[in-house]
Amino acid sequence: MRKLNLFAGIIILSAFIGSCTHEEADREKIVEMTIYPETGYGAGVLSDVVTEPIQFSDNDENRKQLLTDIITEGFDFNYERGYEYTLKVKKVWMQNPPQDVSSVKYVFIELLGKKKVITKDSEKSIELFVSSQTVKFTPKYPNEYENVGGIETLKIYNAIHVQEKGTDNWMALTKIEGFDYEKGYEYVINVKKITQSDPYSVRYVLLNIVSKTEKK
């Protein structure tokens, strides 16, 4: 009887170990990642400073998202706005991820392609909602620096916090040409978005103020 119990125990333990190994294997997958030509705006979980994260999707989910609070390994290529990148990566569902980060990480395998997709200068008129409060913002691609007490550090602006009408996307803009922003007021404004292809840059120029409301 003891031998039978021991044999049954070995079978159960082997099955458990096998299932764990299978589960671990199922939590890794080779996917194709697309990195988009324009960055977004967002801040990490533990930061109150907005920056310009890369926007990406993978063919496992096909959902555009920001590359914030996501662990990456080997992503040492030089990203340039205006170009779309296709990468071969390993997508890993971590069993015990660090706190305050996604449970998914990406490991770079190979650069499959890079193509310039913003090839022409363009202009379009858009409507923006402007918040009554500014946000802390540091630019990226390229970073901007300033000397504070003899130490070079990332430059942080008190940026205008705006949302394009018809979207859920908030932006942090250091300047809207021709617009004199007053903190404490909400605005609806029409602006011209001017995109330059080479070198890539975006400017916003005020067309008119639709409304201005004091926020109490």
Greater confidence, 90 or 24?
90
- The Cα angle at residue 109 between residues 21 and 19, in degrees rounded to 5: 5
pTM of the model: 0.82
As a whole number of angstroms, the distance between CA 182 and CA 49 comes to 21
Domain count of the fold of the chain: 2
Verify that 98 and 159 share a domain, yes or no: no
pLDDT range class, residue 45, cuts 50, 70, 90 = confident
Domain boundary among 66, 89, 116: 116
Verify that 128 and 205 share a domain, yes or no: yes
Look at residues 88, 118, 123, 91 and name the one whose alpha carbon lies nearest to residue 193. Answer: 123
Verify that 50 and 134 share a domain, yes or no: no
User: What was the pLDDT predicted at 24?
Assistant: 53
User: Would 6 be classed as within a structural domain?
Assistant: no
Checking if the pLDDT of 1 tops 70, the result is: no
Look at residues 71, 43, 68 and name the one whose alpha carbon lies nearest to residue 54. Answer: 68
Verify that 100 and 145 share a domain, yes or no: no
Average pLDDT over residues 135-158: 93
Domain that residue 43 falls in: 28-116
In this structure, of 7-16, 27-36, 97-106, the range with the lowest mean pLDDT score is 7-16
Checking if the pLDDT of 38 tops 90, the result is: yes
Tokens of 37: 């030509």
**Percent residues over pLDDT 90 in the chain:** 76
Q: Each residue of 100-126: pLDDT tens digit?
A: 899 999 999 999 999 999 999 999 999
Residue where the block lists tokens 């008190």: 158
